[in-house]
Chains A and B, each alone.
Chain A
Amino acid sequence: MGAEYFNMKFKKVILVLTEDTDQMIITQVVKLCKKFRSKLFVLFVIEVNRASRLARLTHQKTDILDQEIEEGGWKLLYLVEDEAVESDVWTSLHLENGNLMDVLKKYIEAYDINTVLTKRKDETKEIFVSSPVPVIGL
């Protein structure tokens, strides 16, 4: 596979963030996007009932957890953006509520995404199985 193939596959990529996405992954993704001059879409999805499920486990209030999850999501999005701007990488940040796979499919279709990037873990397993475009595990 030549450079042209990779340029095409990385033209528009979407990074699906999870709550534990770390700085190393962010740096890796930004480097990759700089190399291929990709447009980087960044998505954080707050799964339906995420806060109430966590509340049952941690005995914390649902509304406080809701607030923490959303704020945590925005922080991750802006961390990616901050690093991307330093590297002159185009970014577009998105935070949505819903089912991860449904939201992701909507974005892939709406923005003509070529490749999905995400952390390899249980909660992202479905992406690897059901994504209509190639997925790279980080």
Chain B
Amino acid sequence: MVLNISEILKPEAIMMEMKAREKLAVIKELVDYMVANKFVKDGKEFVKALCKRENLESTGIGDGIAIPHARTNAVKGLILAFARSPKGVDFSAIDGKPSHLIFLIASPDDKKSEYIVALAKLSRLLRKHNVREQLKRADSPKEILDIIKKNEE
């Protein structure tokens, strides 16, 4: 399956600096942003699905990264959003460090394969130290997309 993170992530789904500092508030801020940009059908249902997963496991995967994710019919298709938090958010990460780079992934129930592939590709990409550092320093959504595109080639 050919699926590129740089193609799923749209410039209008990138928040260069988010305001919220607490996990649930971060999720809500990101979901509101996605609702405003018409990526999401039902914001409340989407938050519920994301919180269910957060309650079962930490999506803070360490190294300053969190990938909240859910499979739910509250979204229209496979979606990806990115937000940066300069001060960091406590996502109960495995390494105890705050998350500065937050990627939110979701898909409808019937897009399980694409959803799993997207999560796998994103996780692999974010294991690279240089990618994480570049994403922290990028100045614009375009730069974010360029970094991802260059590193997933």
| A contact residues vs B (CB 8 Å cutoff) | 67, 70-75, 77-79, 81-82, 84-85, 88-95
Contact = CB atoms under 8 A, between A and B. Distances in A.
Interface string B48-74: 000011001110010000000001000
Given A85-B52, A92-B94, A78 B57 contact: no
Interface of B is mostly: helix
Interface stretch (B6-14, B24-32, B39-47, B120-128): B120-128
B53 A74 contact: no
Contact of B117 (A67, A73, A75, A93): A75
A78 B124 contact: no
B119 interface: yes
A129 B115 CA distance: 37
Interface of B: 52-53, 56-58, 61, 71, 94, 112, 115-117, 119-121, 123-124, 127
A-B pairs, 10 with minimum CB distance: A74-B120, A75-B120, A74-B123, A78-B119, A78-B116, A71-B120, A70-B124, A91-B57, A90-B56, A71-B124
7 contacts: A71-B121, A74-B119, A74-B123, A74-B124, A78-B116, A85-B57, A91-B57
Given A92-B57, A92-B94, A82 B120 contact: no
Contact of B56 (A71, A78, A88): A88
Contacts of A89: 56
Given A78-B116, A79-B116, A82-B116, A91 B56 contact: yes
Contacts of B116: 75, 78-79, 82
A82 B119 CA distance: 11
A40 B82 CA distance: 28
Given A92-B58, A92-B94, A85 B53 contact: yes
